[in-house]
Amino acid sequence: RTGLKIKRVAVGKINFLRDTVDLQIFYDDLEQEEWLQKIPPMVIEDDNDIRELIRYNLVRDGYQVSESLNGEDGLSKATSSPFDLILLDLMLPEISGIEICKKLKSNPGTAGTPIIMVTAKGEEADIVIGLELGADDYITKPFSPKILMARIKAILRRKEISSTFPQWRASSRRP
């Protein structure tokens, strides 16, 4: 993003964990959709139909997609290349999505990569476990592709804001 001219600045206040935080977002010459697509997302899903549905919607929105059919291959790819986001099924052959999430969140190189769990396991306990292990979102199958894409974009926007303004991220934490 170097060399781009800043056009506008949005300033406001938001409530974050019961504290009011000043927020300043800079908009530059890039359209919002363009800066969301720098690093491809990774889809780790063993069901061909679901993986194809997710890939189709990501490609239609201009993303390049990396895919994996099983847990072992997915974990290997996720730790060897950077991804903006990982869409992760829980019930995978070889290594479960829960184990992949634990390993990625405990690895300093991948701990900051957002994970959306996309799974048929929709019980309250499953959702709580997934989120407590570090998933940034949890979507149960069957799902709406439009809602999935909206959630992906929301997570990428938050990731961009926190990487653009690391001082904001650090100053917004409660003691």
126-137: pLDDT as tens digits: 999 999 999 999
Q: What percent of the chain has pLDDT over 90?
A: 62
- State residue 38's pLDDT score: 58
Share of the chain above pLDDT 70, in %: 70
Which pLDDT score is estimated for 2? 39
DSSP designation for 27: E
- Residue 115, pLDDT score: 97
What are the tens digits of pLDDT across the range 102-128?
Answer: 999 999 999 999 999 999 999 999 999
The contacts of residue 67 (CB under 8 Å, 6+ apart) are 42, 43, 44, 45, 51, 55
CA 171/CA 95 separation, integer angstroms: 37
What pLDDT shows up at residue 160? 78
Residue 22 has pLDDT above 70, yes or no: no
Strand order in the sheet with 137-140: 66-68, 42-44, 86-88, 115-119, 137-140
| Each residue's pLDDT tens digit, 36-71 | 445 789 999 999 999 999 999 999 988 899 999 999
Above 80 in pLDDT, residue 23?
A: no
Mean predicted confidence (pLDDT) in 151-173? 70
| Residue type at position 1 | R
Q: Band of the pLDDT at 159, cuts 50, 70, 90?
A: confident
Whether the Cβ atoms of residue 149 and residue 139 lie closer than 8 Å to each other: no
Map residue 137 onto helix, strand or coil: strand
> Can you tell me the distance from the alpha carbon of 67 to that of 87, in angstroms, rounded to the nearest whole number?
10
At residue 166, the pLDDT reads 57
Residue 83 has pLDDT above 60, yes or no: yes
